[in-house]
Amino acid sequence: MLIPHPLLGPRDAQEFVCLGDARLIERPDPAAADAEAAFCDYVFLRDNPAGVHRELWFHEHGDRSWLVVTRDTVTHAVLGAELARDVALARVGRAP
Amino acid sequence: MTRLAGGLIDRTQTVTFTFDGTRYQGHPGDTLASALLAAGVRLMGRSFKYHRPRGVFAAGSEEPNALVELGSGARREPNSRATTVELHEGLEAHSQNRWPALSFDALAVNDLLAPFFTAGFYYKTFMWPKAFWERLYEPLIRRAAGLGRLSMQADPDAYDKGFLHCDLLVVGAGPSGLAAALTAARAGARVILAEEDFRLGGRLLAETGTLDGAPAVDWVTALEAAFADLPNLRVMRRTTVFGVFDHGVYGAVERVADHRRDPGEGVRQTLWRITARRAVLAAGATERPIAFADNDRPGIMLAGAMRAYANRWAACPVDTIAVYTNNDDGHRTAVDLLARGVQVAAVIDARAEATARGDYRVIAGGAVTGTRGRLGLSAIEVRSDRGAERIACGALGVSGGWNPNLHLASHHRGRPLWDETLQTFLPDAHGPAGLVPAGAAAGAFSTAAALSSGAAAATRALGEIGIDAAPCALPEAEAAPWRIAPVFHVPGRKRAWVDFQNEVTVKDIALAHAENMRPVEHLKRYTTLGMGTDQGKTANVTGLAVMAELTGRTIGETGTTVFRPPYTPVSLSVLGGGDTGPYFRPRRLPPTHRWAEAQGAVFVEVGQWMRAQYFPRPGETHWRQAVDREAAAVRSAVGLCDVTTLGKIDVQGADAAAFLDRLYCNTLSTLKVGRVRYGLMLREDGFAYDDGTAARFADDHYVVTTTTANAGLVYRNMEFARQCLWPELDVQIVSTTDAWAQIAVAGPKARTLLARIVDGFDLDNAAFPFMACSALTVCGGLRARLFRISFSGELAYEIAVPARYGQALMERLMARGADLGVTPYGTEALSVLRIEKGHAAGAELNGQTTAAMLGLGRMVSQKKDAIGAVMSRREGLAGDAGRLVGLRPVEDGGAVVGGAHLFAEGAARTLAGSEGWITSSCHSPHVGAAIGLGFLERGDARMGEVVVAANPLEGGSARLRVVPACFVDPEGGRLRD
Amino acid sequence: MRFSGFRIVAEALKGHTGWRPLWRDPEPQPAYDYVIVGGGGHGLATAYYLASRFGAARIAVLEKGWLGSGNVARNTTIIRSNYLLAGNEPFYEFSMKLWEGLEQDLNFNAMVSQRGIINLFHTDAQRDAFRRRGNAMMLAGAGARLLDADEVRRMAPFLNHDNARFPIRGGLMQPRAGTARHDGVAWGYARAAARLGVDLIQNCEVTGFRIDNGRLRGVETTRGSIAAGTVGVAVAGSSSRVMAQAGLRLPIESHVLQAFVTEGLKPTIPGVITFGAGHFYISQSDKGGLVFGGDIDGYNSYAQRGGLPVVEDVAEGGMALMPVIGRARLLRMWGGVVDMSMDGSPIIDRTPVDGLYLNGGWCYGGFKATPASGYAFAHLLATGEPHETARAYRLDRFARGYVIDERGAGAQPNLH
């Protein structure tokens, strides 16, 4: 399996560690009234789709970037990869 | 008749080999099977279940029958196909699965019992009496089953792994593969041509058809010469591409030295991971038989194999052969063998309209209904319009058509499609991305079609990646149309084998049908069809056809089972890559490793690290003596321990403090520069995760430590937090575990010793108190970091210097501390000291425990958020009443055993009633008794209570008193003074 | 038809003309009392125990492919009850007891073979953790032995005892553990259930649930609507996919787990052995193949096939542990999709939809659980109450903080 690293080009997936669903970027607000319920969803529940899945991969044996990889869980085709930091910054309204 | 004229063997050289101890001779270019056939040997094995005599059936890796144990001693290799074993001088082979001898096998009695041994019979019996299964039935079955024997010695040979990259991988070097490789290589693409045989050419080597009017082998030879001038083409002979993996990664095994008598110092086999932008599957096709009564006698083989042995290897074991076919191809065998002087008794063609292609008898519309011969074929029984007759022959070539080798095209679960005209399965369009089937593998069966198909496939594949490939001139070749009648088996009362190796007969398939095991997966699993070492390459389609006939469905509707790697079996040695024994995993060595070795240290594996466990001295006969001495030295004088393996992470940036506050459950932002604080991390699910220290060297600079075990994981999580959760923070982190050597200097004389190496640094308790840190220089200018932290409970420091100075620092400290009684200590003493002090380590921080259980509940700040803070408040975690306690035997000399479960005295010993367990235990030199740590329900409220530690696993239990989890200096005076 | 050696002899003498289908292929009825979704091992066992132990009738098993095509069709056939935690161990021990009487119960030889399992340890810390686990097993009546290095050497001389990177220091053995013929288990349950009147319906995929005001009314299938008041879903590997049709999100990820078998060999190793310093476990089938496996590939997948790196990793582990298998050849590898749950333990529970029940989250340990899982699920479906050994397998344990985390790995499925 090859991961198209946005900075380094195609890299063997063996260089990476997969964490799982990219929604783990979206950590809930700990101060919210329903924080415990929101964290339970965040920590434990997954869409787990058969098809397109956005997921987090860490380039552990590489440049130590966290990537958001879009991959099909049925065919394993990789549809794209971006720096997780950019995704996370966009979420808080900042430019990368 | 044995050796015929001609063939592609080197008759100028003779090779001597043995089979079952008998010496034979062959020539370079022979396989074991061809050389044995040329020597007139037809009997090469015994069948799996009935122990029937079996001979070679095929000429390639699809061979189901002729399996041998190759070699001897530690190199013995069971289940080797005689058809793919390249002959070499001194080759030694033995038949297998027979006793006492191949020609007389006592277990052949099973054949008489065959009526009882039908498909799946074992599911219906052996159930009474119950205890007999493990004691009697199963051992008997296990002894009878299996094929060859492992040597039970470690493989002595060397193996290697490598990566290759190319634009186009061509799998197979028959006509289509050669045309594809030529086309692509001429276009300048980076091409790999992989061929499982030791010679390029594929079926061209086995046929007599010409290319441009000349022998096909001439064209191949010319092409090989041309290939040598194409540096962008890598030709890999003896290389089997065994699987297609994701994103164009192909697994291949190159048999580098199997054809040599002795691999010598070199590598025997190499595992290649080939990343190919595109691939052409030109793996050819495999002939399939027609099933008829007693069709498994030695001498009966695939017609194409018989032709290959005659044409390529000049081998035919008998004078007279016959052919049974349902297609034109079978006639080629008759024509070719006749041309080489072999008698052809008859060609039995299932098609009524069949005619002869030469001077031989054709029985049109005929069928073979039976065979004769005990250890080899002597005659066949034939039925046709003109009645039944017996025809004497020593070998029978059978052709039921050809099955494309579409395995790789189906490795991503694509399902092949049935083609009624060709009477075969073809690859579907949804194979692995980038893989284009060509030639016979795609159903292009004539040589001309194969050549043009291969060239076209290469052009198409390269076009997809922007490489224009001009058509190459291809030679003129036979372009015979493919004509076949759908005949798969001859109905009859006797057994007709479909899967030779796994002994699946037409009757077995009928039984599966009768018992409603009709879906192909049930058919396969119930009868074991196609589950042998040949993976049913010659059997599966016939089996499906028989089932289709029984159910009244088409073969296409019946479908195939799932194709899975490997294409042919692959040795575990080459998959493992040769990194066995001590080389299984890298060894990480702390900076003082060599020094410790010189001290005679005993080492222990700690993850990938090798750490000094203890340093025995002359006269010490038991490890405990060394450990007790080392621990006592720390408590009374000063000890040194290399603690480099603890993870170290450098955290810098304007937001470093805010960042750490979110990672650790306690507050680190209030830490003053020059101070150290203990830090506890939770997982986001609220459980305790890892602990360590955080030292603040500047407002924007911390150095944090992790446990040895979690160093990598914590760093990964910190990067996750930095990049994914809080990317807006100004913070950078880097792991410096390997950059700094760190040595613990512990004991009441630690300050005295350190004072002798620091460069004028004030170590006075007021200037550098407990939990202070500083950058400094030592030993006359060497930059260092000093932390006044203590794992042992003594006055202690950890000093860090650049890793390359680690050993020098250790030696300097040892030299300067000799008069102080300085003593190196290892992980065992380290563990004793921390248990005495009640510090948690891996056994307590095991991922199942909470901060409160560790007695650290108050560290979880309620004033700020941090990873895990919210979830740590869930009912199940907050309500867990287990608490870390100390444990001491009530009786003098009593033991404390890690892993024992704790019970209230008098309580029933059930798992549900278990109130905790002992996590760590040791002999404490300080206490003078065994001590332990453990988790106990409401343990904090049970001080002084006597509990029972139950160890039913090893027998026995002990009464232990619950005490605080700190056995030394609970007030902490020693580490503060 | 009752199976026995006598029956085989009788049939052999009359040319095997009397064998009857192991099960019927009925048309689906418009309504059932109980519908089990998933004709794998757990679904078939559930149907069998519902009919045989709980007196239930009008039961259908709906299978989208062929019977036994769930993960019961692709696993490493190991049965054991060697768990640590009180939420798990009694359940798996209950399963082991059901295994021990299974063949007589089903009148089908599933080749349950108690040749023992040895979990090797390589450090003192591992030994203490195994001692804690072994004591839990003893306390639950499962039986266990702690072996030292010499005992392991005597019992398994073919392991690398002399120059290993991680020396073998001993092992935790469960003598009652072993293997069972996986397909035979599915067929045995299917045949026994069919004999009790259960409709086993193949090629029938559930495409939706009919739910009125939070109450389940039935299922939609590729073979029409089927009404049912009680529906139990046992489709591990696809739990998220199927339950999403009822609007539920689960604490589960689907991952690929690969397994491997070599060519047939004469007896090489007696029982099951697991490596404690690498991801590798191995046994030998009655047919002679060495059956082994390792870690999951580590990424979400429904592809039923894995990657080459894990193949190599497993082979490296195998060669490090027992270099004598080097010249055995890998014959076949396969990938199964497993429900990896957030704590590594399963779920057998009701769902927020009244009448809809879930059995899933088996990670890569579902095969050994087949009998108890079926029994406990049948108990839940028939009585509405969890079976006493499966009380911990609640869906709300994650939210409430009562996870059953044997490895202490937390909510990251690919670490379990």
Q: Which tens digits make up the pLDDT trace of B632-661?
A: 999 999 999 999 999 999 999 999 999 999
Q: What integer pLDDT is reported at residue B690 of this predicted model? A: 98
Kindly report the backbone phi and psi dihedral angles of residue B487, in degrees, each rounded to the nearest multiple of 5, phi listed first: -120, 120
Where does C301-411 show beta strands of DSSP type E? 329-341, 347-350, 356-360
Q: What integer pLDDT is reported at residue B261 of this predicted model? A: 83
Cβ-based neighbour number of residue C398 at 10 Å: 25
Contact (CB<8Å) B870/A75: no
Q: Which residues contact B43 (CB under 8 A, 6 or more apart)?
A: B53, B54, B55, B102, B103, B298, B375, B376
Pick C411's closest partner by Cβ from A1, A17, A44. Answer: A44
Q: What integer pLDDT is reported at residue C118 of this predicted model? A: 98
Range of the domain at A31: 2-91
Contact (CB<8Å) A76/C252: no
pLDDT cut 70: percent of chain A above it: 100
**pLDDT per residue as tens digits for the range C110-166:** 999 999 999 999 999 999 999 999 999 999 999 999 999 999 999 999 999 999 999
What are the chain A neighbours of B248 within 8 Å (beta carbons)?
2
Q: Confidence class of residue A40 from pLDDT cuts 50, 70 and 90?
A: very high
Report residue B122 as tokens. 């074992």
3-state secondary structure of C116: coil
In angstroms, the first-to-last Cα distance of chain B is 100
pLDDT cut 90: percent of chain B above it: 97
Q: What integer pLDDT is reported at residue B977 of this predicted model? A: 87
Contact present, C337 and C40 (Cβ < 8 Å): no
Q: Does residue B263 have a pLDDT over 80?
A: no
Least Cα distance to B439 among B304, B205, B448, B475 occurs for B448
On whether ipTM exceeds 0.85, the answer is yes
* Pairing between β-strand B901-904 and β-strand B946-950 as defined by DSSP bridges: antiparallel
Q: Confidence class of residue B667 from pLDDT cuts 50, 70 and 90?
A: very high
Q: Which residue of C has its CA nearest to A72?
A: C301
Residues linked to residue B786 through DSSP beta bridges, in sequence order: B774, B799
Q: What is the mean pLDDT of residues B858-882?
A: 96
Burial B150-178 (b: 16+ CB within 10 A, else e): bbeebbebbbbbeebebbbbbbbbbbbbb
Contact (CB<8Å) A1/B433: no
Kindly state whether residue A37 falls inside one of the protein's structural domains: yes
Report residue B773 as tokens. 């840190």
Kindly state whether residue A55 falls inside one of the protein's structural domains: yes
Q: What is the mean pLDDT of residues B422-448?
A: 96
pLDDT cut 90: percent of chain C above it: 99
Kindly tell me the sign of the dihedral angle through the C-alpha atoms of B477, B480, B482, B484: negative
DSSP letter for B671, please: P
Least Cα distance to B824 among B598, B609, B659, B605 occurs for B598
Q: Tell me what the pLDDT averaged over chain B comes to.
A: 96
Contact (CB<8Å) A76/C301: yes
Concatenated DSSP letters of B591-631: TTHHHHHHTT-EEEEETTEEEEEE---TT--SHHHHHHHHH
Radius of gyration of chain B (CA): 38
* Pairing between β-strand B15-19 and β-strand B92-95 as defined by DSSP bridges: parallel
SS3 assignment for C36-102: EECCCHHHHHHHHHHHHHCCCCCEEEECCCCCCCCHHHCCCCEECCCCCCCCCHHHHHHHHHHHHCH
Residue of C207, C252, C299, C312 to mutate, interface with A, max A Cβ within 10 Å:
C299
Contact present, B56 and B44 (Cβ < 8 Å): yes
Q: Which residues contact B551 (CB under 8 A, 6 or more apart)?
A: B513, B518, B558
Q: What is the mean pLDDT of residues B63-75?
A: 96
Q: What is the mean pLDDT of residues C352-381?
A: 97
Q: Give the C-alpha separation, C112 to C341, whole Å.
A: 27
What are the chain B neighbours of C70 within 8 Å (beta carbons)?
none
Query: Whose structure tokens read 């052969």?
Result: B321
Q: Confidence class of residue B413 from pLDDT cuts 50, 70 and 90?
A: confident
Helix (H) or strand (E) holding B54: strand B53-55
Kindly state whether residue A71 falls inside one of the protein's structural domains: yes
Pick A47's closest partner by Cβ from C249, C298, C412. Answer: C249
Q: Does residue C343 have a pLDDT over 90?
A: yes
In angstroms, the first-to-last Cα distance of chain C is 44
Q: Give the C-alpha separation, B528 to B539, whole Å.
A: 11
* Pairing between β-strand B379-384 and β-strand B214-215 as defined by DSSP bridges: unpaired
Helix (H) or strand (E) holding C175: none
3-state secondary structure of B582: helix
Where does B109-173 show beta strands of DSSP type E? 158-171
**Distance of residue A85 Cα from the nearest chain B Cα, in angstroms:** 5
Q: Does residue B453 have a pLDDT over 80?
A: yes
Residue of B99, B572, B835 to mutate, interface with C, max C Cβ within 10 Å:
B572
Contact present, C370 and C188 (Cβ < 8 Å): no
**pLDDT per residue as tens digits for the range B677-703:** 999 999 999 999 999 999 999 999 999
Q: What is the mean pLDDT of residues B124-140?
A: 91
B748 half-sphere exposure, CB direction, 13 A CA radius: 9
CATH code at position A26? 3.30.2270.10
Q: Which residue of C has its CA nearest to B534?
A: C331
Least Cα distance to B470 among B487, B458, B486 occurs for B458
Report residue C12 as tokens. 């052999």
Residue of B277, B723, B735 to mutate, interface with A, max A Cβ within 10 Å:
B723
Kindly state whether residue A49 falls inside one of the protein's structural domains: yes
Q: What integer pLDDT is reported at residue B799 of this predicted model? A: 98
Contact (CB<8Å) B142/C163: no
Contact present, C233 and C245 (Cβ < 8 Å): no
Q: Does residue B727 have a pLDDT over 60?
A: yes
**pLDDT per residue as tens digits for the range B923-939:** 999 999 999 999 999 99
Residues linked to residue B53 through DSSP beta bridges, in sequence order: B46
Q: Tell me what the pLDDT averaged over chain C comes to.
A: 97
Q: Give the C-alpha separation, C78 to C114, whole Å.
A: 10
Q: What is the mean pLDDT of residues B108-131?
A: 91
SS3 assignment for B208-270: CCEECCEEHHHHHHHHHHHHHCCCCEEEECCEEEEEEEHHHEEEEEEECCCCCCCCCCCEEEE
Q: What is the mean pLDDT of residues B882-906?
A: 97
Cis peptide bond N-terminal to C386, omega within 30 = no
Contacting A with CB below 8 Å, chain C residues are 238, 240-241, 244, 249-254, 298-303, 307, 309, 342, 398-399, 411-414
Contact (CB<8Å) B724/A31: no
Q: What is the mean pLDDT of residues B514-541?
A: 97
Q: Does residue B392 have a pLDDT over 90?
A: yes
Q: Does residue B131 have a pLDDT over 90?
A: no
Q: Does residue A96 have a pLDDT over 90?
A: no
Least Cα distance to C112 among B262, B440, B131 occurs for B131
Q: What integer pLDDT is reported at residue C324 of this predicted model? A: 96
Q: What is the mean pLDDT of residues B501-523?
A: 97
Q: Which residue of B has its CA nearest to A22?
A: B724
Q: Give the C-alpha separation, C129 to B845, whole Å.
A: 12
Domain count, chain A: 1
Residue of C327, C395, C407 to mutate, interface with B, max B Cβ within 10 Å:
C327
Q: What integer pLDDT is reported at residue B578 of this predicted model? A: 87
Q: Does residue B5 have a pLDDT over 60?
A: yes
Contact present, B715 and B647 (Cβ < 8 Å): yes
Q: Give the C-alpha separation, C350 to C347, whole Å.
A: 9
Q: Give the C-alpha separation, C338 to B854, whole Å.
A: 34
Q: Which residues contact B390 (CB under 8 A, 6 or more apart)?
A: B372, B379, B380, B381, B382
Report residue C126 as tokens. 């591992």
Q: Give the C-alpha separation, B39 to B950, whole Å.
A: 71
Q: What integer pLDDT is reported at residue B128 of this predicted model? A: 87
Q: Give the C-alpha separation, B358 to B331, whole Å.
A: 9
Q: Does residue B264 have a pLDDT over 90?
A: no
Contact present, B35 and B53 (Cβ < 8 Å): no
Contact (CB<8Å) C299/A71: yes
**Beta carbon pairs, A and C, within 8 Å:** 67
Length of chain C in residues, anyone?
A: 416
Q: What integer pLDDT is reported at residue B265 of this predicted model? A: 81
Report CA C316 to chain centroid distance, whole Å. Answer: 26
Domains of chain C, with CATH numbers? 20-75+182-252+343-415 (3.50.50.60)
Kindly state whether residue A96 falls inside one of the protein's structural domains: no
Q: Does residue B617 have a pLDDT over 80?
A: yes
Q: Which residues contact C115 (CB under 8 A, 6 or more apart)?
A: B134, C178, C179, C270, C271, C272, C283
